[in-house]
């Protein structure tokens, strides 16, 4: 027997050489609340198929790990697809569209009833109880194209035509092969919890636990968010863009400049409509509150919206809620000993409410600017509102109902901003808005602050936790949701982000995340930036914005 000394989640252990991670995981499963999905070997994520061949550090991960959770979700999509084809035949297709209320909205190729969706859920649970293996298979790209042609999966065929890999990895479940650009669990019994909610006759929501929400909560309808996604879809149809392959075709046929111009005009028109709505209520509205997650393009959107409002005779005056942070000596302290700038209590709400109230009464106030180097507010700016002035307040807590409670609702207009992209890699693989924002942030942090990829990825988890706690729960309080996504932008961001991502060394704890983003970007043809106007939201991240540079 050839034993290898290993360390598992910090504890010494011995395992026989060539044992799989799956075999080893059974010793440790009882220490986890959820099923073990994946493991790290010396900091690198590996599927449980992987064989242990040398002494190493092993860390098992369940779905509370962000990377493992993504594997869980992609595996659930594979399972749902297999269940649907088992019930309704191979021509029945799913199209994974976008995230919604801690879940994913999925469209069906034909109308289904609530009873049929329940049948899908029952079938998925049956497959889970059977603990069917999910097998990993390496095949030539041309063989894969031929297979997907035979089963009429046109979205896969179009995408693989733009891929240069000689071999690709497929996953086999039953008699079905799929290509999901992700690691997978080793068996269907990994899926311990999920739910399906009927939304329309051609769409349902797949829900699952997340690192931020262990228990699946009842689905809540987000009508405004659905309307924004529907509008974005109509834009895509106007431009003949359904997936990445369609975008690549525009690039390869020299039509991408037209797509950029159309996309920018459509977005500017929608911002103009927002300005018209605000102007139509100018006699009562005194405050516009804007909020959204990191890298949503809030700065450019605020500047452009202010410009449109000025063209209607209004005079916007801007306030950032960040300038009302408590001084560090009075701040909320995080477990790591640093000031917490994410929570609502980080804001000096008494001062904020008092000054906004005085401004609305026509009084002059001395507003603060927060000095992050000194960790304190500095009062230097005199502000007073005149008859046609309107306040534009930007901050992550802008939609929180606990702020400005003493000001009547009819005097406030709340706007939620986010890049709500709905451009798929193929029918089963979406591009998440989170990844879109992360690419924006990587590029901007490097360009404006000199931060490397490691720095941005290291801070991203805490940023996401803050969004889950303080921004997303308040999005339904918005009077208007503005989509800051541009259908062409990831092709542009690729040219800036890809070299940065390749700089992450193999021994970095963020290597796997960098590689995941590289793998996603490989499907996009690069798009040059010269046709992007200087007032574009994208310029906020890639540079040469007329509002910033």
- Token pair belonging to 416: 């939620």
pLDDT for position 240: 87
Q: Where in the chain is the domain with CATH 3.10.20.30?
A: 3-62
Q: How many CB atoms lie within 10 A of CB 443?
A: 23
- Token pair belonging to 296: 């949503």
> What are the tens digits of pLDDT across the range 471-494?
999 999 999 999 999 999 999 999
The secondary structure of residue 390, as a DSSP letter, is: E
69 band by pLDDT with thresholds 50, 70 and 90: very high
CA 348/CA 370 separation, integer angstroms: 11
Task: Name the strands in the sheet holding 94-100, side by side, starting at the edge strand that comes first in the sequence.
Answer: 94-100, 103-108, 203-207, 195-200
365 band by pLDDT with thresholds 50, 70 and 90: very high
pLDDT for position 1: 60
Say if CB 480 and CB 418 are below 8 A apart. no
Q: Where in the chain is the domain with CATH 3.30.980.10?
A: 67-207
Helix (H, G, I), strand (E, B) or coil at 431: coil
Strands 389-394 and 315-320: parallel
Contacts of residue 499, Cβ cutoff 8 Å, sequence gap at least 6: none
Half-sphere exposure of 20 (CA within 13 A, CB side): 9
Say if CB 154 and CB 404 are below 8 A apart. no
310 band by pLDDT with thresholds 50, 70 and 90: very high
pLDDT for position 549: 55
CA 335/CA 46 separation, integer angstroms: 31
For the domain spanning 67-207, the CATH number is 3.30.980.10
CATH pick for 3-62 out of 3.10.20.30, 3.20.20.140, 3.30.56.10, 2.60.40.10: 3.10.20.30
233 band by pLDDT with thresholds 50, 70 and 90: confident
Say if CB 294 and CB 444 are below 8 A apart. no
The secondary structure of residue 58, as a DSSP letter, is: E
> What are the tens digits of pLDDT across the range 188-211?
999 999 999 999 999 999 999 999
CA 53/CA 390 separation, integer angstroms: 67
246 band by pLDDT with thresholds 50, 70 and 90: very high
CA 488/CA 247 separation, integer angstroms: 7
Helix (H, G, I), strand (E, B) or coil at 213: strand
**Which helix (H) or strand (E) segment is 197 a member of?**
strand 195-200
CA 187/CA 37 separation, integer angstroms: 9
Closest CA to 487 of 515, 438, 524: 524
Helix (H, G, I), strand (E, B) or coil at 444: helix
The yes-or-no verdict on residue 498 having pLDDT over 90 is yes
pLDDT for position 180: 87
> What are the tens digits of pLDDT across the range 15-32?
999 999 999 999 999 999
The interaxial angle of helices 489-502 and 433-449, nearest 10 deg, is: 60
> What are the tens digits of pLDDT across the range 208-226?
999 988 789 888 888 888 8
């Amino acid at each position: 027997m050839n034993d290898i000394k290993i360390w598992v989640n910090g504890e010494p252990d011995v395992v026989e050489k060539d044992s799989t991670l799956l075999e080893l995981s059974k010793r440790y499963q009882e220490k986890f609340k959820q099923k073990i999905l994946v493991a790290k070997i010396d900091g690198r994520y590996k599927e449980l198929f992987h064989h242990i061949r040398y002494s190493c550090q092993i860390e098992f991960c369940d779905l509370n790990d962000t990377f493992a959770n993504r594997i869980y979700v992609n595996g659930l999509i594979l399972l749902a697809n297999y269940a649907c084809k088992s019930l309704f035949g191979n021509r029945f297709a799913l199209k994974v569209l976008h995230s919604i209320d801690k879940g994913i909205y999925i469209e069906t190729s034909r109308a289904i009833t609530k009873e049929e969706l329940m049948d899908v859920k029952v079938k998925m649970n049956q497959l889970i109880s059977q603990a069917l293996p999910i097998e990993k298979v390496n095949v030539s790209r041309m063989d894969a194209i031929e297979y997907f042609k035979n089963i009429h999966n046109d979205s896969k065929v179009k995408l693989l035509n733009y891929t240069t890999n000689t071999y690709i990895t497929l996953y086999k479940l039953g008699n079905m092969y799929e290509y999901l650009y992700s690691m997978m669990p080793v068996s269907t019994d990994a899926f311990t919890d999920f739910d399906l909610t009927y939304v329309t006759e051609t769409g349902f929501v797949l829900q699952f636990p997340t690192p931020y929400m262990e228990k699946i909560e009842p689905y809540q309808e987000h009508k405004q968010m659905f309307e924004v996604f529907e509008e974005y879809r109509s834009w895509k149809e106007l431009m003949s863009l359904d997936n990445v392959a369609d975008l690549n075709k525009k690039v390869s046929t020299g039509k991408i400049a037209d797509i950029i111009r159309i996309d920018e005009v459509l977005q500017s028109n929608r911002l103009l409509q927002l300005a018209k709505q605000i102007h139509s209520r100018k006699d009562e509205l005194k405050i516009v509150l804007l909020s959204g997650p990191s890298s949503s393009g809030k700065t450019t959107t605020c500047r452009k919206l202010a410009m449109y409002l000025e063209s209607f005779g209004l005079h916007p005056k801007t306030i950032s809620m960040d300038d009302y942070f408590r001084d560090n000596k009075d701040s909320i302290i995080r477990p790591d000993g640093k000031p917490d700038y994410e929570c609502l209590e980080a804001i000096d709400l008494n001062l904020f409410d008092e000054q906004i109230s005085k401004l609305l009464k026509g009084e002059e106030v001395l507003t603060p600017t927060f000095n992050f180097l000194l960790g304190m507010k500095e009062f230097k700016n005199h502000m007073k509102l005149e008859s046609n002035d309107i306040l534009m307040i930007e901050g992550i807590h802008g939609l929180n109902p606990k702020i400005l409670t003493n000001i009547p609702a009819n005097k406030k207009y709340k706007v939620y901003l986010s890049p709500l992209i709905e451009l798929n890699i193929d029918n089963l693989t979406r591009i998440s808005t989170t990844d879109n924002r992360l690419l924006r942030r990587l590029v901007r942090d490097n360009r404006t602050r000199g931060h490397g990829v490691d720095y941005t990825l290291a801070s991203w988890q805490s940023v996401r936790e803050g969004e889950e706690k303080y921004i997303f729960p308040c999005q339904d309080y918005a009077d208007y949701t503005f989509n800051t996504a541009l259908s062409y932008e990831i092709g542009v961001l690729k040219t800036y982000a890809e070299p940065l991502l390749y700089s992450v060394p193999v021994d970095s704890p963020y290597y796997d995340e960098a590689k995941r983003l590289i793998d996603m970007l490989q499907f996009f043809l690069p798009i040059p930036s010269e046709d992007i106007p200087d007032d574009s939201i994208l310029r906020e991240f890639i540079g040469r914005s007329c509002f910033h540079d």
